[in-house]
Amino acid sequence: MRRKTSDCLATVKDTALDLVLNALEAIRDRGEKLPSASRISLDRLGRQVIVDAPASRAQPTSNKEALLAPIRARVSVCEKCPHLARTRTQTVFGVGNPDAELMFIGEAPGADEDARGEPFVGRAGQLLTRIIETMGFARSEVYIANVLKCRPDMPRGSAGNRPPTPVEMQTCLPYLTEQIDIIQPKVLVALGATAVEGLLGTRGVMRELRGKWHSHQDTPLMITYHPSYLLRNQSPSEKRKVWEDMLQVLERLERPITEKQRNYFR
Ligand code: URA
Ligand code: URA
């Protein structure tokens, strides 16, 4: 469909240029003064049409959204973890810009995310959104996804969250890998230990892993603390650490950083 539309537009453009060329030629042939168009410039203009045409047909919009759609559809009916398929309200695929340069990876949906169908919308999510905005991005400019697309089930009547099991992670990870392969962000950010385990396959000490560049396939990966860790541990020094990690991300993306941004949480 898209190709047809662009071919059609190109035809219209060619027709329009033909009209312009004909009009200029008519003016020249009648010997009128303005506008002047020599044979050489008309010839150049004519050639320009041919040279420009392929570029003018290129669509500025990418097809990443279209590539993500079938994966989202498969996820929405996934029953590979029957216990999670039974207990979830809905799957939580991911949110944001499919053309994002920056992609955040969290752990799994919590109760709020399970209810809304969108990652990071609860308390930790609000903090993540603030971090993203402080970096100078709108939430809608980046992409946000989790290792697990279902909320980890909790025993009847118990509140809170549990981390995904290794089997749940192995089962769900191919979806995340597909998302990353399509989006191809310039930088990935792993939020917390579960994201690290999912992306790197290692269970390390967050204190040692964070703040350093790692890589996932060929994509630079920054590891930082999970926003819920910052909610549990309100000390300014921990906030500053996450912020320093995000400054490294901004540098890697070659984004401008203001003096004010450099000094946040100091
Ligand atoms: N924590 C996560 O890791 N992901 C969410 O989507 C929400 C909270
Ligand atoms: N420990 C974790 O598991 N995650 C964090 O983000 C910080 C400490």
Which pLDDT score, from 0 to 100, does residue 51 have?
A: 41
d(CA 23, CA 21): 5
Give residue 213 CA to ligand 1 midpoint distance, Å: 22
Ligand 1 within 6 A of CB of 106: yes
d(CA 38, CA 34): 11
CATH superfamily of 92-262: Uracil-DNA glycosylase-like domain (3.40.470.10)
Ligand nearest to the CA of 241: 2
Which pLDDT score, from 0 to 100, does residue 44 have?
A: 53
d(CA 131, CA 136): 9
Ligand nearest to the CA of 195: 1
Q: Where are the domains of the chain?
A: 92-262
Q: Are 105 and 199 in contact (CB under 8 A)?
A: yes
pLDDT, tens only, 13-69: 444 544 554 555 555 556 655 555 555 554 555 544 444 444 444 444 689 999 999
pTM of the predicted protein model = 0.78
Sign of CA dihedral 101, 102, 107, 109: negative
Which pLDDT score, from 0 to 100, does residue 49 have?
A: 44
Give CA 142 to chain center in angstroms: 4
Which of the listed residues 146, 168, 191, 226 should we mutate to test ligand 1's pocket, taking the one with most ligand atoms within 8 A of CB?
Answer: 146
Give every CB contact of residue 139 below 8 A, 6+ residues apart in sequence: 96, 129, 132, 133
Give residue 84 CA to ligand 1 midpoint distance, Å: 16
Ligand nearest to the CA of 207: 2
Q: What are the φ/ψ torsions at residue 224 (nearest 5 degrees)?
A: -140, 175
Ligand 1 within 6 A of CB of 120: yes
| Percent with pLDDT over 90 in the chain | 74
Which pLDDT score, from 0 to 100, does residue 62 have?
A: 80
Give residue 70 CA to ligand 1 midpoint distance, Å: 23
Residue 180, CA atoms < 13 Å, CB-side half-sphere: 25
Ligand 1 within 6 A of CB of 227: no
Which pLDDT score, from 0 to 100, does residue 156 have?
A: 84
